[in-house]
Chain A
Amino acid sequence: METVAIDYRKKGVAFHYIYKALAHPEHNGYVQPFTQQERLLHVAEAKRTLGSSIEWLCDNMKNELKQALGGAPNSQFILDPQGKIISASSWSNPAELRATLAELVGEVSPATTVPDLGLNQLPPPQPAAKGIVPRLQMPGVMRAIVVKPQPSLEPYYVKLRAEIDESFMRDGLGWMYIGFHLDPLLDVHWNNLAPALQFKVRTPTGITVAASKAVAAKVDLEADADPREFLLGLEWDSKELSSASFSSAELIVEVEYYACHDEGWCKPFQQSYILKLVPDRHAGSVRNRGRVGGGRSFRDR
């Protein structure tokens, strides 16, 4: 994409990447941002790691631009000077883009090549030790659900990802994944000398969880950056919570943890979330859970 941008800017074409919610959380350790400010941190990180000259725009937290343009995670559009969409691809393809632009404004020859660019691509952040706490294996296909962080005076240094499995979605009896992930862009690690992370879950009438509170296992290493993960049995009783009310039912998760900043402070935090047992189509899907650098990166495209 960078080579196309360099060649066709000379012909007056403007280029923008549009930042949207993560397609594959956990790739290179990145986790889904909770706020617009955190999305902008991701934009800065994308610029840092990609070394691209292309300007970014950042979608709002309602994901309105992504939804307005079809909802695909890596789509590509060309607008004419009046703002009309004259090319639309659900998956970005730089070669196709170059050909289309050649038809519109004329070919650029010779074309810039990737080796010509000498891009200064930098690695993702290196957190505290990872691979210390074994990752959970999922019981089946999981689907991210809606997680709403509640107002907090402090940033969410640790971010909750919640998922439910297909048997719960199908039969009302299954599993809920609760994973607390350190945000690598906030430069923190677990303080394992302090009490381990613990959380409580409160459920509405008609939803039962097998354990309403839990504590993470003690880790011997002083610090690490692995997620703290739990699988909870979950059951829906449709006699007590009707189908009509199900999608608005709310679970409350309250978490306590100690975190340390990489450059100094260590503090306790108490934060809470509201969960809804409905799929969140903007939450992305985790691939190669627990494998460092699993999946394919935007930088590969």
Chain B
Amino acid sequence: MKSKLSLLLFFGVFALNTVSAQQQGRQPSAQFPQVSSLLGSQLPEVSVFDEQGKPFSTRQLSGKYTVLVFGCLT
């Protein structure tokens, strides 16, 4: 085991001249078939938070048409 592992040197801050790992494209919609399968179902009850950090139940999202969009800073 040690002999095999010795082939892999510890690299501190030295760069490896090989392929970058970040060449994955955007995630195609086809990777998330579960999303369309939710059509017609009730929004699950989940406890999340509002902008002020107060607990918020998804049950509160009723009474009017509501749009939900997932996102983040990146």
8 tightest A-B CB contacts, nearest first: A233-B8, A138-B21, A70-B35, A27-B74, A211-B10, A70-B34, A72-B32, A90-B32
| B10 nearest CB across to chain A (Å) | 4
Taken together as a complex, chains A and B put the C-alpha atoms of A301 and B6 apart, in Å, by: 47
A280 on the B face (CB < 8 A): no
User: Which listed residue (A75, A85, A233) contacts B10, Cβ 8 A?
Assistant: A233
**Residue on B nearest A43 in the bound complex, by CB:** B51
Contact (Cβ within 8 A) A57 B48: yes
- Starting from the known contacts A20-B71, A75-B32, A233-B8, 11 additional A-B residue pairs (CB-CB under 8 Å) come to A25-B74, A27-B74, A70-B34, A72-B35, A75-B70, A78-B66, A79-B43, A134-B13, A136-B15, A287-B22, A297-B74
| B3 nearest CB across to chain A (Å) | 10
Contact (Cβ within 8 A) A78 B65: yes
Contact (Cβ within 8 A) A84 B70: no
Total B residues in contact with A, Cβ cutoff 8 Å: 62
Total A residues in contact with B, Cβ cutoff 8 Å: 114
Contact (Cβ within 8 A) B21 A142: yes
Taken together as a complex, chains A and B put the C-alpha atoms of A140 and B35 apart, in Å, by: 30
Which of A58-66, A149-157, A269-277 binds B?
Answer: A58-66
**Residue on A nearest B67 in the bound complex, by CB:** A15
**Residue on B nearest A105 in the bound complex, by CB:** B65
Given contacts A49-B73, A284-B74, contact A83 B43 (CB under 8 A): yes
A contact residues vs B (CB 8 Å cutoff):
1, 4-5, 8, 12-28, 30, 36-37, 39-40, 42-47, 49, 54-60, 64-66, 68-92, 97, 101, 104-105, 133-142, 163, 165, 173-175, 208, 210-211, 214, 216-217, 228-235, 237, 284-289, 294-298, 301
User: Which listed residue (B9, B46, B62) contacts A68, Cβ 8 A?
Assistant: B46
Contact (Cβ within 8 A) A46 B40: no
**Residue on A nearest B18 in the bound complex, by CB:** A139
Taken together as a complex, chains A and B put the C-alpha atoms of A135 and B20 apart, in Å, by: 11
| A136 nearest CB across to chain B (Å) | 6
Given contacts A83-B43, A298-B73, contact A137 B22 (CB under 8 A): no
Taken together as a complex, chains A and B put the C-alpha atoms of A139 and B44 apart, in Å, by: 41
Contact (Cβ within 8 A) A57 B18: no
Residues on the A chain within 8 Å of B7, using CB? 233
